[in-house]
Amino acid sequence: MLRIVWLTDVHLNFVEVEDRSAFFASVCQESPDAVLLTGDIAEGPDIVSHLRAMAREISAPIYFVLGNHDFYRDSIVEVRRRMSRLCEETPSLVYLTAEEVVPLTPSIGLIGHDGWADARLGDYERSLVMMHDNHLIKELIGYNKQQRWDVLKRLGDQAAAHIRRVLPLALERFPEVLLATHVPPLREACWHEGRISDNQWAPHFTCKAIGDAILDIMQSHPDQRLTVYCGHTHGQGRCQPLENVEIFTGGAQYGEPAIVSTFTIA
Ligand SMILES: [Fe+2]
Ligand SMILES: [Fe+2]
């Protein structure tokens, strides 16, 4: 049995150091064997220091992916590179985007990728939503809306390519797989303020490329199970697109990091 504490969208850059420590202490009180953290941890310039503090104050291994905010005021390539260096020097931190399959129990493997909102669901062209990503992340700066669409799709495809590679590897070894990602992979998982996101928000709140990968792969493994954990929309919800696939979206509030849930796996 493993006890897992799931956190998402903790946005620690909006939290005072004492409140951050109190939050970490509340995680420790759950006596986790592992922490699962599905992105939007902080912002580019300070994410390393927040993750170091987390690893210092929580003794369990921390399996994480990054969210769009984690690249703010920075670059995707650079921050991802920094994560690999950080995890080398801090073995209890595991950046799933840079890993293949992490064995959790003899029957459960863990995989993950940051994902990216790839603007393929909803109505990107008519959407009036302007994400801060567009002026705060190096790879998205300097494009008009049409040009940026290609960049978003490319980032989604890159994320899906990882899942298409590692999910089959995980299914070869384990009957059950957990997948951590930041962006909800399906429209049905895209909870926002108690409802499924509308056409304005869906382009910025879903990674269709990963959703397609999950459905394709799991349809051909009907006797195995996949459970997905994601965040990004800050709206809590659950959906089950296939008999063998369940997706949990974690709720969150800026400035008030909280445990989404504690669960056990065997
Ligand atoms: Fe967030
Ligand atoms: Fe996000």
Ligand 1 centroid distance, CA of 247 (Å) = 17
Number of domains within the chain = 1
Band (pLDDT 50/70/90 cuts) for residue 36 is very high
108-136: pLDDT as tens digits? 999 999 999 999 999 999 999 999 999 99
Ligand 2 centroid distance, CA of 215 (Å) = 23
201-236: pLDDT as tens digits? 999 999 999 999 999 999 999 999 999 999 999 999
Tell me, what amino acid is at 29? Q
Q: Which residues of 222-239 are buried (b: 16+ CB within 10 A; e: fewer)?
A: eebbbbbbbbbbbbbbeb
| Structural contact between residues 69 and 10, judged by C-beta atoms closer than 8 angstroms | no
What pLDDT is recorded for position 188? Answer: 93
Backbone angles phi, psi at 167, to 5 degrees: -65, -45
70-83: pLDDT as tens digits? 999 999 999 999 99
Ligand 2 centroid distance, CA of 251 (Å) = 11
Residue 243 has pLDDT above 90, yes or no: yes
Band (pLDDT 50/70/90 cuts) for residue 194 is confident
Residue 31 has pLDDT above 90, yes or no: yes
Mean pLDDT, all residues of the chain = 97
Q: CA separation (Å) from 32 to 1, 51, 225? A: 11, 17, 23
| Structural contact between residues 119 and 111, judged by C-beta atoms closer than 8 angstroms | no
What pLDDT is recorded for position 115? Answer: 98
Which is more confident, 195 or 176?
Answer: 176
What is the pairing mode between strands 195-196 and 191-192?
antiparallel
Range of the domain at 141: 2-265
Across 32-61, average pLDDT: 98
Ligand 2 centroid distance, CA of 32 (Å) = 24
Band (pLDDT 50/70/90 cuts) for residue 193 is confident
Q: Which residues contact 15 (CB under 8 A, 6 or more apart)?
A: 23, 255, 257
Give me the CATH number covering residue 67: 3.60.21.10
- Return d(Cα 198, Cα 251) in angstroms, integer: 18
What pLDDT is recorded for position 192? Answer: 83
Ligand 2 centroid distance, CA of 114 (Å) = 10
What pLDDT is recorded for position 195? Answer: 86
What pLDDT is recorded for position 102? Answer: 98
Across 37-45, average pLDDT: 98
